[in-house]
Amino acid sequence: MPPTVVGFYLLIVMDPEGWLGGLWKGATGSPILFTFAGIVIASITYSIPFALQPMRAAFEKIDPRLIESARILGLSPPAIFLRVILPNSRNGIAASAILVFLHTLGAFGVILMVGGSVPGQTRVVSVAIYEAVETLQYGSAAMMSLALLPICYIFLLVVHRLTKRSPS
Amino acid sequence: MNLQIRIRKPLPHFELSLDVNCPAEAMTVVIGPSGAGKTTLMRIIAGLDKPAEGFMQFGDEVWLDTKLRVFVPPQKRRLAYVFQDYPLFPHLSIHDNAAFAAGAKKDVVQELLERFGIGQLQDRKPDAVSGGERQRCAICQALAREPRLLLLDEPFSALDIFTRRALRDELRNLKEGLGIPVIYVTHDVNEALYLADGLLPIVEGRVDREWMQRSLARVNAAKSERAKAVRDPRLSLAY
Amino acid sequence: MDWIALFLSLKLALVATAILMIVTAPLACLWPCRLRSSDFTCSS
């Protein structure tokens, strides 16, 4: 789905009239649109597939016999999850975390729709770069882009190394 | 405590249909050709598979009764199950693997590791020890839980003959001190005769005493051949 | 140069990742049990 479409639906749901916006307003007394909490929820929704996919791949790679023997050894399902599944899919979880991190860092359309551009609240760097370019402040835009590059590069490098090496 | 089993489960080529009783404090050896339903039987006893219908009782505890919809999940049966090429937890050391079970006691684990001769390897990861040592660890892991019933499904058949013999001897010694029923699956008649207190021959899902008689006859016939083989080095290549 | 925006982006990414990991890990784990033939961790 295009980010602006996700953003549009989120906008409707998170509107003070919408169910999530209404719920939030009931709990905190203020609307959720154009706040930091709002863009957190938006980017989570936007990134769910990127979190699920590598994690599921890692979980499916675990030998089902390990789970069977853990059951016979007396572990309850939550204990199996913590003591067998999580430690054996660390790489997949790390890869999924980094993908989500980068994907959120790059989110633009969703955040602009749901959060707008409130300085100190919802004006994240992708939005700031866009606005800098719009107002012809090319120097500022270049600086911010330059600051993002090494961050993204390092994270991608880590993803690459984690996904290449077979788990344990 | 003895184990009573009365089950029926359709399998792709035949139906597993058994009514047997495994006596307490004895080693019952389940023997039969490959694909006779032996592993399925073990998985049903462990609670990893469910039969189409049946009843299973351990001591006075009902583990399974399809009529009354009773099913005790594997984690509550307090039994141990070691199978061929048993997977140890790759992220844990030999010691932590042995101590993995719920409620494993530290001193019991240490004693078991020493007893099976892998005490000096306890800080290594499973992929850094040999297959025989891994299987020893699997047995320690199984026993550390102080199980009430021990299931062994061809536990040594992936090992070389020397390691297999050594472990078989250790198991025979161990059995005396355990005082719990042991069910051992194999397709090797010699192994069965060496270990068993009671034999349970299964062919195509049913108890088949005749098959056992024929196999025993074949083993006896081969005995003189083997005696010859020891004397005659050319023949010995065949064994 | 908007340092606050940069900081906000990193904060957003970290918070979103943390929440998403905690929530989706158990979900992703329960998912395949419906597809597998033998009962998985979630049954029983």
Q: How far is C8 from chain B (nearest CA, A)?
A: 37
Note whether B73 contacts C44, CB cutoff 8 Å: yes
The one-letter amino acid at A4: T
3-state SS string for B68-87: CCEECCHHHCCCEEEECCCC
CA distance A160 to A94: 11
- Name the residue among A31, A116, A46 with its Cα closest to residue C13: A46
Asked whether the predicted pLDDT for residue C12 surpasses 90, the reply is yes
The one-letter amino acid at A81: F
Complex ipTM tops 0.90: no
pLDDT band at C39 (very low <50, low <70, confident <90, very high): very low
Asked whether B222 and B190 are in contact (CB, 8 A), the reply is no
Considering all CA atoms of chain C, what is the largest pairwise distance in Å, rounded to the nearest integer? 57
- The average pLDDT across B14-27 equals 86
Instruction: Specify the length of chain A in residues.
Output: 168
CA distance B71 to B85: 28
Burial B106-119 (b: 16+ CB within 10 A, else e): eebbbebbebbebe
The share of chain A scoring above pLDDT 90, in percent, equals 12
Q: How far is B76 from chain A (nearest CA, A)?
A: 6
pLDDT band at B231 (very low <50, low <70, confident <90, very high): low
**What pLDDT sits at residue B234?**
54
**What pLDDT sits at residue B105?**
82
How does pLDDT run across A123-168, given as a tens digit for each residue?
Answer: 999 999 999 999 999 998 998 889 888 888 888 888 778 766 544 4
What residues in B contact C38, CB-CB < 8 Å?
A: 48-49
pLDDT band at A95 (very low <50, low <70, confident <90, very high): confident
Note whether C16 contacts A126, CB cutoff 8 Å: no
CA distance B109 to B100: 10
> Residue B140 corresponds to which tokens in the numbers above?
């320690």
- The average pLDDT across A63-87 equals 89
Asked whether A50 and A99 are in contact (CB, 8 A), the reply is yes
CA distance B37 to B41: 6
Asked whether the predicted pLDDT for residue B116 surpasses 70, the reply is yes
- The average pLDDT across C5-15 equals 91
How does pLDDT run across A100-118, given as a tens digit for each residue?
Answer: 998 999 889 899 888 888 8
Question: DSSP 3-state assignment of C23?
Answer: helix
**What pLDDT sits at residue A53?**
86
CA distance A129 to A145: 7
pLDDT band at A60 (very low <50, low <70, confident <90, very high): confident
Asked whether the predicted pLDDT for residue C44 surpasses 60, the reply is no
**What pLDDT sits at residue B207?**
86
Mutate to test the interface with A, among C4, C6, C9 (most CBs of A within 10 A): C9
Asked whether B184 and B202 are in contact (CB, 8 A), the reply is no
How does pLDDT run across B155-192, given as a tens digit for each residue?
Answer: 888 888 888 888 888 888 888 888 888 999 988 888 88
Asked whether the predicted pLDDT for residue C42 surpasses 60, the reply is no
What residues in B contact C44, CB-CB < 8 Å?
A: 73-75
Q: Which of residues 117-156 of A touch C (CB under 8 A)?
A: 119-128, 132, 140, 143-144, 147-148, 151
- Name the residue among A36, A108, A25 with its Cα closest to residue C14: A36
- Name the residue among B63, B69, B126, B140 with its Cα closest to residue B98: B140
Asked whether the predicted pLDDT for residue B239 surpasses 60, the reply is no
Residue in A65, A70, A168 closest to B91 by CB: A168
The single-letter DSSP state of residue B47 is T
What residues in C contact A51, CB-CB < 8 Å?
A: 20-21, 24, 28
Beta bridge partners of B151: B81, B183
Quote the crossing angle between the two packed helices C3-30 and A36-61, to the nearest 10°: 40
**What pLDDT sits at residue B63?**
93
Asked whether the predicted pLDDT for residue B36 surpasses 60, the reply is yes
Note whether C44 contacts B49, CB cutoff 8 Å: no
Burial A126-140 (b: 16+ CB within 10 A, else e): bbbbebbeeeebeeb
What residues in C contact B73, CB-CB < 8 Å?
A: 44
Question: DSSP 3-state assignment of B150?
Answer: strand
The share of chain A scoring above pLDDT 70, in percent, equals 96
We find that the CATH architecture of domain A3-164 is: Orthogonal Bundle (1.10)
Q: What is the mean pLDDT of chain B?
A: 86
| Closest chain C CA to residue A79 | C41
Q: Which of residues 10-69 of A touch C (CB under 8 A)?
A: 36, 39-40, 43-44, 47-48, 51-52, 55-56, 59-60, 64, 67-68
pLDDT band at B229 (very low <50, low <70, confident <90, very high): low
**What pLDDT sits at residue A164?**
66
The sheet that has B27-31: what strands, in order across it?
A: B80-83, B150-153, B182-186, B27-31, B198-203, B206-207
pLDDT band at B42 (very low <50, low <70, confident <90, very high): very high
CA distance A41 to A36: 9
The DSSP element (H or E) to which B6 belongs, if any, is: strand B3-10
CA distance A156 to B173: 56
Asked whether B51 and B8 are in contact (CB, 8 A), the reply is yes
Q: Where is average pLDDT lowest: A9-18, A127-136, B88-97?
A: A9-18
Note whether B48 contacts A74, CB cutoff 8 Å: no
- The average pLDDT across B131-153 equals 90
- The average pLDDT across B86-95 equals 90
pLDDT band at B150 (very low <50, low <70, confident <90, very high): very high
- The average pLDDT across B116-132 equals 88
Note whether C38 contacts B48, CB cutoff 8 Å: yes
What residues in A contact C33, CB-CB < 8 Å?
A: none
**What pLDDT sits at residue A104?**
92
Q: Are strands B150-153 and B15-22 parallel, antiparallel or unpaired?
A: unpaired
The secondary structure of B94-131 as a DSSP string is HHHHHT-STT--HHHHHHHHHHTT-GGGTTS-GGGS-H
- Name the residue among C33, B70, B75 with its Cα closest to residue A76: B75
Asked whether the predicted pLDDT for residue C37 surpasses 70, the reply is no
